[in-house]
Amino acid sequence: MEHATHQLPGLMTRTEADLRQIFLRQVEAIPAGERIKRCIQCGTCTGSCPVSYAMDISPRQLIALFRAGELETIMRSRSIWICASCYACTTRCPSGIKITDVIYALKRTVMEKEYESKAPQVQVLAKLFVDNLMSYGRLHEGTLIRKYYMKTGIFKLFGFIPLVKKMLETKRLALFPKKIKEHKSLSRIIKKAQEIEMRHVPEKLEYSPEFVGYRGLGDMKLESRKGE
């Protein structure tokens, strides 16, 4: 059955439909997120991006691929991890698309599906950042950087010796992390927020063959989102 639908032109595969459902849920959380439908493929985003030269898929292409039902290709790109979220594209998009936030939504979709990434170091950093925050409530840069390089290339740590020396000389280095006072209450808040988040995740994704492109978005809740 499923195989048959694969063959039909313009219809999405099951994987693609799954991804799209997760991604659109993320897009819904962006104020004015539905503007993604308005892309005119002008390329202003790519032209404004200071790092597009280093991307394998440009920001304009990201939207084109989503529209064409190729989210899976995006999931495996390194582009979304290079975005430093400077918002140059978002500021200039003539259609008002929140491109930076769309890229954040793509990152979260990858994290949720646990795709193998072309830039695993970014996920390593993100996870360590979260761990750091969970343990102390505040970020301790020293711990973060030390753990990061211990996971991604320990020899690089030696390169930091001169910097560490300078930081000590100028009293800019806290050797040990310290916890916030209400650390326990912050943990409870985070735990509760995780629970709430799970309520919004459907247990089983339903698959019905949908069209690629915007046709399939016609009855999305996205229509009613405010912010226009």
Partner 1 sequence: MKYAYYPGCSLEKTQRGYDESVRAVFKALDQELVEIDDWNCCGATMYMSVKETVSLAVSARNLALGERMGLDILAPCSSCFTTLSKTNRILNEIPEMRRDVNEALAEGGLSYSGKVKVRHPLDILMNDIGLEAVRARFQRNLNGLKIAPYYGCQIVRPDKTFDDRENPMLLDRLFRACGGDVVYFPMKLRCCGGMLMTTFEETALKLNKELLECALDNGADVMVTTCPLCHMNLEAYQGKINNFYKTTFNIPIIYFTQLLGIALGLPAKSLGLDSSFIPLGKKVTTLTEVFYA
Alpha carbons 182 and 132: distance in angstroms, whole number: 15
Instruction: Determine which residue in the list 10, 43, 94, 227 makes contact with partner 1, applying CB under 8 A.
Output: 227
Number of residues that bind partner 1 (CB under 8 A): 63
> Residue 215's Cα: distance from chain center in Å?
25
* Binds partner 1 (CB under 8 A): choice among 68, 111, 168, 205: 111
Around Cβ 210, how many Cβ atoms within 10 Å?
A: 19
Segment near partner 1 (CB under 8 A); pick from 5-13, 15-23, 57-65, 100-108: 100-108
Helix axes 99-113, 14-28, angle to 10 degrees: 130
Stretch that binds partner 1, among 7-15, 48-56, 57-65, 211-219 (CB under 8 A): 48-56
Tokens of 194: 């995780």
Lay out the site mask for partner 1 across 185-224 (x = CB under 8 A, - = otherwise). Answer: xx-xxxxxxx-xx---------------------------
Handedness of CA 46, 57, 25, 129 (dihedral sign): negative
Nearer to partner 1, 82 or 212 (CB): 82
Our finding on whether 165 is near partner 1 (CB under 8 A) is no
Neighbours of 41 (CB within 10 A): 12
Query: Quick one: angle between helices 141-152 and 120-136, nearest 10?
Result: 140
Among candidate residues 181, 26, 203, 192, the one with its CA nearest the CA of residue 106: 26
Give the interface with partner 1 as residue ranges (CB under 8 A): 26, 29, 31, 50-51, 54, 81-82, 84-88, 90-91, 98, 100, 104, 107-108, 111, 119, 121-123, 125-127, 129-130, 133, 137-141, 145, 148, 162-163, 166-167, 170-174, 180-182, 185-186, 188-194, 196-197, 226-227
